[in-house]
Structure 1
Amino acid sequence: MVDDAVISGLEVAVQASPDNHQLRLHLASLLLQAHRAADALTHATTVLAAQPAHLEALRLAAWSAEEVGDARATGYQQLHNALTGVQIPSGRPAQPSVSADAVDVPISAPLLAGAEPETPDASHLLESSMPRVTFADVAGMQEVKQRLERALLAPMRNPELTRLYGKSLRGGLLMYGPPGCGKTYIARAVAGELDARFLSVGLSEVLDMYIGQSERNLHAVFEEARRRAPCVLFLDEIDALGRKRSQMRGSGANVVNQLLAELDGATTSNDGVFVLAATNSPWDVDPALRRPGRLDRTVLVVPPDQEARRALLDLNLRHRPHAGVNTAALAAQTDGYSGADLAHVVDSAAELALEDSIRSGTPRPIEPQDFRRVLRDVKPSTGPWFDTARNVAQFANEGGTYDDLVAHMRARRLL
């Protein structure tokens, strides 16, 4: 029987990271084992809405739909069979598979068999194949760059002076702001500036259904970063890994305790390891994580300024046919749009041009009227975040934690 606490913890994680399809399917598999087929079907169909040909989602949807008597079961089975040529077994199996395809956490055969879990290996998280980027590749965002330079880069580039003034080459910094504004890209640029290795960690690399395994995974991640120092360790969605313990049930708080111990270097030194964490919800992060010596510095990453918006539009248009598009004028019209919003705007304009080309049989470039049509429908996605942040800035700014957010919102007349 699946532990309800494990399911509850995964439900919290999925709520915090709704686009993590692997994690959502892992939860759906456990729900199916727990005879909650209707809930499993909801999660499986959510993934299928984004990825209609996802094989694991089709299998789980077929089993779940069949159990609850949903007429869609046959359709899911037929689509799966057409894609793979393999028949899905009829009916829900007694133990639905939880495979490495369903969740990014490496799951070994002994662990699935119930044996003692092996020590995880986190070396695969190093992005050795990713092109190295630096601040020169980040358009605009001068305030963020200056804050990172002062808090992190200058001390790391001058280790002798840093030690002379009694500072260690370690520490942590929390980046927060609306989703889609480039926090992950900036973290990679920090690693490029330091010529350091970049270790990126998300929920799926840490959370595990077996009690105690999540803590082992987290320890393995930090051990890998220490072996690879100098290293930038990037913890994405830190509000899910390090959520306030008062809001958590079951073993979830143990992950936070493990994270605190690793940040403190309880077993070994963290010299040469700089921890960058990112979150859209800093107010949900456990206060203990932001104490001195841990994630004690904070940087607000806001939607790109006009210079950055123009650069992002140019980047997204670079390999697409276009004519007469004035990206400077578009940048002026898209105030408040995140980087992800701008990519969506360009994609939508390309879809309109493609649709016309298919209809007429003659390819045409993306033109200004495509963007005019798109901007009537596509609005900035950052509005809801600032609506929530407004309450925090006004009523929960204890000790000046969110002074930079208050200043930004006042400058933009959002407060």
Structure 2
Amino acid sequence: MSEHSVLTELLTMLESNPELLPVRLRVIELLAAQGRYSDALGQCGAALAQDPGNAQVLELLQRCTAALAGGEPAVTPAPATPPQPPAPAGAGGFDWAAAEREVGDIIKPAFIADDGEPLVVGPGDTGLFERPRVRLDEVGGMADVKRQLELSLLGPLRNPELAKAFGTSARGGLLLYGPPGCGKTFIASAVAGELGANFYPIEIAEILDIHLGASERNLHQIFEMARRNAPCVLFIDEVDALGYRRSQMSGSAGLRTVVNQLLTEMDSATGDNEGVYILGATNHPWDIDVALRRPGRFDRMILVTLPDPEARVSILRHHLRDRPVEGIDLKAIAVRTEGFSGADLAHVCTSATQLAMADSLRTGTVRPIGMPDIEQAMSQIRPSSTAWFESARNVVEFANNDGTYDELANYMRGMKPR
């Protein structure tokens, strides 16, 4: 698929899912590569509105600005001759074995993890493994999410004989969904910590590539590395960008094959994923291809909602730690921030810190962060999840015939109007 076609598909995806920051970053890079610096700058503005201070966006912004001013080009052009992809092997994907035979055996150098166990990584592998130390009991609040994780994943893994007696297992994938900024990545990391497993977080930008077949190859390499380093929690963030509904792809064969490859990798009939626990996160589960939610794939869904009061206290305490504070009433702040996401609460803490720091710079004396700073910050910040719940309301009212989103519907009925 041509670079222009990829850009068109990604722009279409952004129209329906504007909060997909990794996709927007890829769009900026492609626009800059085509010399469309003004359009790229517009996308940079939208990206900074989502994530102020994002280092990658700021770097792209600087490059595009320099290019418009007659400086160096914003992005290094792609090689004239792209690497040749492996040959297709049927509708399911590519003949990886043949490709590996062509380049020789993949000898995997070992890296030592914190506990002394080797992490087996091969040439071309992307991403980094982590050994999370956080456990689920360190996640504030979210009792219902923890209960569902225990029932659907952790319980069967801890009690394999009991699970076998009841004919259940932890195979397949688990999908965490809900409004943005509510800690889905943190929960996935805590699950890995609970299992004592490697944690391999993947972002869409590490998979998608403009060259034909490269995205599928990247995806295959990621799963292969996870299999070599089992037990492993493979976490795919923004999975709706990767597993987007093929019926909405306007006939594009390029992104369709990426979805096909993901289906192949998750299918137990075509790959041995023993010890690989696949967790996905998405803000828009209704945009995921239906084939990805069939048994053996992302067949279990857990709603990760806005933080409850206990979780809000925990989040506020986390973001104010190691900062000079005085007279802060975390419980009072938690009461007044109902409807705020974890990201919103982090923004409140950062804004309050900046206010206290600005005052300290004026006086030359360090002034601790106090409740007036928190209150001023709260008065300037509004919940960022409002638009998400408006979109979700349409789904639960008009596209929930099979009851998939009953849990979300019940949660929304219990929300207090703002």
- Normalised by the size of structure 2, how large is the TM-score? 0.82
Pairing of 1:10-409 with structure 2 (within 5 A): 10-12=10-12, 16=17, 18=19, 20=21, 24=24, 26-34=26-34, 36-43=36-43, 50=53, 54-63=58-67, 65=68, 73=69, 77=71, 88=72, 97-98=76-77, 113-116=81-84, 121=123, 123-128=125-130, 131-249=132-250, 250=252, 251-409=254-412
Decide whether the 8 Å contact of 1:126 with 1:197 is kept in 2. Answer: no
- Equivalent residue letter for 1:244: R
The answer on whether the counterparts of 1:353 and 1:364 sit within 8 Å (CA) in structure 2 is yes
Structure 1: 5+ residue runs without aligned partners? Answer: 66-72, 78-87, 100-110
- Aligned residue identity for 2:382: K
Identity score, percent = 47
Q: CA deviation at 1:165?
A: 3.7
How far apart, in 2, do the equivalents of 1:205 and 1:266 lie?
A: 26
> C-alpha root-mean-square deviation of aligned residues, in Å?
2.7
Contact 2:21 2:47 in 1 (8 A): no
- CA contact 2:215–2:258 (8 Å) conserved in 1: yes
Match of 1:5 in 2: 5
SS in 1 for 2:244: coil
- Could you say what secondary structure the match of 1:133 adopts? coil
CA contact (8 A) 1:44 1:61 kept: no
Shift of 1:155: 0.5
Q: Quick one: distance in 1 between partners of 2:390 and 2:26?
A: 32
The one-letter amino acid paired with 2:276 is V
TM-superposed CA distance for 1:163, in Å, is 3.2
Q: 1:212 to 1:393 in 2, by over 3 A?
A: same
Where do 5+ consecutive residues of structure 2 fail to align?
Answer: 86-98, 101-121
Cα displacement (A) at 1:187? 0.3
2:27, 2:301 → 1: CA distance?
A: 32
Cα 1:222–1:348, aligned 2, differ >3 Å: closer, same or farther? Answer: same
SS in 1 for 2:340: coil
Q: Return the offset for 1:58.
A: 2.6
User: What code does the residue aligned with 2:199 have?
Assistant: F
- Between 1:53-62 and 1:392-401, the stretch displaced more is 53-62
Aligned-partner SS, 1:198 = strand
Q: Cα deviations across residues 172-231 of structure 1 (Å, max 9, x unaligned)?
A: 111111100000000001111111111111111110000111111111111111112221
Q: Structure 1 residues 3, 382: CA separation in 2 closer, same or farther (over 3 Å shift)?
A: closer
State the TM-score, normalized to the length of structure 1.
0.83
Give me the whole-angstrom Cα distance separating, in 2, the residues matched to 1:123 and 1:33.
Answer: 25
CA contact (8 A) 1:40 1:61 kept: no
SS in 1 for 2:279: strand
Is the 1:159–1:169 contact (alpha carbons within 8 Å) kept by the matching residues of 2? no
Superposed displacement of residue 131, structure 1: 4.2
The one-letter code matched in structure 2 to 1:197 is N
Partners of 1:245 and 1:2 lie apart in 2 by 18
Count of residues paired in the alignment: 377
Are the counterparts in 2 of residues 125 and 201 from structure 1 also a CA contact under 8 Å?
yes
Whether the 8 Å CA contact 1:122–1:224 is kept in 2: the answer is no
- Supply the distance in 2 between the matched residues of 1:46 and 1:334 (Cα, whole angstroms): 26
Q: Is the 8 A contact 2:264 2:271 kept in 1?
A: no
Give the letter aligned to residue 242 of structure 2: L
Q: Distance in 1 between matches of 2:391 and 2:222?
A: 32
Aligned to 2:104: none
Distance (whole Å) between structure 2 residues aligned to residue 223 and residue 256 of structure 1: 17
Secondary structure of 1:335's partner?
coil
Following superposition, the deviation at residue 123 of structure 1 comes to 4.5
Three-state SS of the structure 1 residue aligned to 2:338 is coil
Is 1:169–1:271's contact at 8 Å kept on the other side of the alignment? Answer: no
From the superposition, tell whether residues 369 and 316 of structure 1 become closer, same or farther in structure 2 (CA, over 3 Å).
Answer: same
Say if 1:25 and 1:57, in contact at 8 Å, map to a contact too. no
Instruction: Return the offset for 1:392.
Output: 1.1
